[in-house]
C-alpha cells in the first residue's frame, strides 16, 4: 500500500516459498500477480496466478489471469477467462483491466465494434484517456467501413468515440 513494489514482491515471494501450504498463499499469489501486472510483466503474473488451484480462484483472480493472457497476446484464452466475470462488480482499477483487456482482445480478433464498445466503457475510469482515444481513432481509421462508422456514430453519439466516428 505504500507503493514499494520491490519490497512487497520480495516479501510475498518469501512468504509463498516458506508457507506454500498456508491458506493465505492464494491471496499472496494474487498479490504477486497484481505486482507483476503493474510492472507489465504478464508472463510472471501468470506464473503466480496459475498456481492458484481452480477451486480457490475468485472472479478477481480470473480477471487478472484473463487480462494477463490478453496482454501476453493470448486473446481467445484471455477472453474465455474474462467473459464469465464480465458482469461482476470489481474495484475501479480491476474494472479498467476488464474493459481494456476485452477491448484489446476484440481489436486483435478484428471485431472493431465490440472493441469500440469496451473502449467506450473504459474511458470514464481511464487514467490516460488520450491513449485510449488514439487507439479508438486508429480502429475507426483502419478497420471501419462506412456501415461501422455510421453504427459507431449512433451507438456512441454522446461520447468522443461517436464524435470521432462522425468526423
Q: How would residue 4 be classed by pLDDT, with cut points 50, 70 and 90?
A: confident
Q: What is the pTM of this model?
A: 0.89
Q: Look up cell 468522443; give the residue.
A: 160
How confident is the model at residue 5, as a pLDDT? 78
Give the relative orientation of helices 75-82 and 92-108 as an angle to the nearest 10 degrees: 140
Q: What is the rounded CA–CA span in Å between residue 26 and residue 61?
A: 10
Q: Which residue has the higher pLDDT, 4 or 158?
A: 158
pLDDT in tens, 93-128: 999 999 999 999 999 999 999 999 999 999 998 888
How confident is the model at residue 19, as a pLDDT? 81
Average pLDDT of the chain is 91
How confident is the model at residue 12, as a pLDDT? 83
Q: What is the rounded CA–CA span in Å between residue 22 and residue 18?
A: 9
If phi > 0 it is left, if psi is from -120 to 50 it is alpha, else beta; for residue 73 that is left
Amino acid at each position: 500500500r505504500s507503493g514499494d513494489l520491490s519490497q512487497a514482491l520480495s516479501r510475498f515471494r518469501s512468504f509463498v516459498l516458506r508457507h506454500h501450504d498456508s491458506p493465505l498463499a492464494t491471496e499472496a499469489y494474487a498479490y504477486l500477480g497484481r505486482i507483476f501486472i503493474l510492472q507489465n510483466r504478464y508472463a510472471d503474473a501468470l506464473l503466480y496466478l496459475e498456481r492458484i488451484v481452480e477451486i480457490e480462484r475468485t472472479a478477481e483472480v480470473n480477471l487478472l489471469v484473463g487480462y494477463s493472457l490478453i496482454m501476453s497476446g493470448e486473446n481467445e484464452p484471455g477472453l474465455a477467462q474474462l467473459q464469465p466475470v464480465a458482469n461482476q462488480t470489481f474495484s475501479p482499477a480491476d474494472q479498467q483491466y476488464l474493459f481494456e483487456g476485452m477491448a484489446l482482445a476484440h481489436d486483435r480478433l478484428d471485431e472493431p465494434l465490440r472493441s469500440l464498445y469496451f473502449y467506450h466503457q473504459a474511458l470514464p475510469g481511464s487514467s490516460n484517456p488520450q491513449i485510449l482515444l488514439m487507439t479508438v481513432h486508429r480502429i475507426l481509421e483502419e478497420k471501419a467501413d462506412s456501415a461501422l462508422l455510421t453504427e459507431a456514430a449512433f451507438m456512441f453519439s454522446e461520447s468522443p468515440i461517436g464524435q470521432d466516428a462522425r468526423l
